[in-house]
Amino acid sequence: MDKLATLWMFVRRQKYWITVGVFAVIIGFLDENSMLKRLKYTQEEHQLRSEIEKYRKEYEENTRRLKELMVDSDAIERIAREKYLMKKPNEDIFVFKDDVE
């Protein structure tokens, strides 16, 4: 009984600190909107924004290439030669592959 009375006196003296501690644990770790989840969501948001920026740059580059193809017929020939290794009937193509060791 003496231990129970000592515990009760401790709780009565420290009730505000105990309440603040329990509140901090709930908000920091257990709640649906905990600080850990907020940090995770912030990191995910940053990752998605960088991905959006990457795709935006890719879109702009593809749009620029499309406009170039619409205007210049030599560009179509150049891309066909570089990317698809096409050639004119009287040409020879030499393809060099880098040795990977």
Which of 42, 45, 83, 86 shows the shortest CA–CA distance to 65?
83
pLDDT of residue 83: 77
* pTM over the 0.85 mark: no
CA distances in angstroms from 97 to 94, 100, listed in the order given: 10, 9
Enter the tokens of residue 81: 């030669």
Chain-centre distance for alpha carbon 58 = 16
pLDDT of residue 24: 86
Ordered by start, the domain boundaries in the chain are: 1-31, 33-87
Residue 36: CB partners within 8 Å, gap ≥ 6? 28, 29
Q: Give the type of residue at 57.
A: K
Mean pLDDT, contiguous 10-residue spans, the chain (101 residues): 87 91 85 85 97 97 88 79 77 69 49
